[in-house]
Amino acid sequence: MNEPQIDEPLKLDASGPSVVDLHARLAMVGYPVETLQLNVFGPATGDAVLLFQRGRGLDQTGIVDLETWASLLDACHHFGERLMCRRTPMMRGDDVAELQLLLGSLGFDAGWIDGVFGAGTETAVADFQRNAGLPVDGVADPTTIATLTRLRLSANAARPIAAVREQEALRNGSEGLVGRRVVVGDLDQAPSFAGAIGAALRKEGARVLLLHHPDGETHAK
């Protein structure tokens, strides 16, 4: 099922079903808005959006742009609440990131912990299933998730492979990012992934510009 999208940024005085959805999702991730008009983007909504953006390492504008909306969609997915698999468009969310973290902590390298269920994550799930004596299909179904969780709780696991690799990469290259202007292009296929990259770069001092356009040649100009 495709995730709901917004046609334009949501900001003060915006109204309609998208704002109702926004309020519901903010409440789901711990930023409830006290308002009697759930279909209107009021000052309290902007405050909640600011807090959410701060917590996710996004630009704090109080406006729900594509990057903020994608991050909010990711945050609404909690580990164990849905089956996770590789599909088109790619499944993404905080639950996928937690899956990658669990796999890595047990020695099954899913690659970067980016919250995107791609080929690396599918392979890591299949490898885990094979080692755990489960049916091997690369799908994180309830049985696979329960087994992962049980083993993680019972094992004093090392740090995830990808986390160690990512920290070392940032440590070795972060000084060169301070003050640099970096453009991150998104072909309207992976906005949350582009947003995650942008947030990580900003934390290292880079000035990030996100480009959302379906034409690759436009990004190259």
- What CATH number has the domain spanning 17-75? 1.10.101.10
If you average pLDDT over residues 177-191, what whole number do you get? 60
- Distance separating alpha carbons of residues 137 and 127, to the nearest angstrom: 10
Domain limits of the chain? 17-75, 94-163, 178-220
At residue 111 the predicted structure's pLDDT band, cuts being 50, 70 and 90, is confident
3-12, 111-120, 137-146, 162-171, range with greatest mean pLDDT: 137-146
- pLDDT computed for residue 153 by the predictor: 72
Position 178 pLDDT exceeds 80 = no
* pTM greater than 0.85 (yes/no): no
Position 20 pLDDT exceeds 50 = yes
- pLDDT computed for residue 166 by the predictor: 56
Position 189 pLDDT exceeds 90 = no
- As a three-state string, the secondary structure of the chain is CCCCCCCCCECCCCECHHHHHHHHHHHHCCCCCCCCCCCECCHHHHHHHHHHHHHHCCCCCCCECHHHHHHHHHHCCCCCCCCECCCCCCCECHHHHHHHHHHHHCCCCCCCCCCECCHHHHHHHHHHHHHHCCCCCCCECHHHHHHHHHHHHHCCCCCCHHHHHHHHHHHHHHHHHCCCEEEEEECCCCHHHHHHHHHHHHHCCCEEEEEECCCHHHHHC
- pLDDT computed for residue 169 by the predictor: 59
May I ask the CATH architecture of the domain 94-163? Answer: Orthogonal Bundle (1.10)
If you average pLDDT over residues 128-132, what whole number do you get? 95
Position 185 pLDDT exceeds 70 = no
- pLDDT computed for residue 221 by the predictor: 45
At residue 125 the predicted structure's pLDDT band, cuts being 50, 70 and 90, is very high
If you average pLDDT over residues 52-61, what whole number do you get? 91
Position 194 pLDDT exceeds 90 = no
If you average pLDDT over residues 13-42, what whole number do you get? 95
Q: Which residue has the higher pLDDT, 156 or 204?
A: 204
Spatial CA neighbour of 72 closest among 82, 58, 84, 86: 58
- pLDDT computed for residue 4 by the predictor: 86
At residue 172 the predicted structure's pLDDT band, cuts being 50, 70 and 90, is low
Alpha-carbon torsion angle 100, 101, 104, 105, nearest 10: -150
- pLDDT computed for residue 217 by the predictor: 47
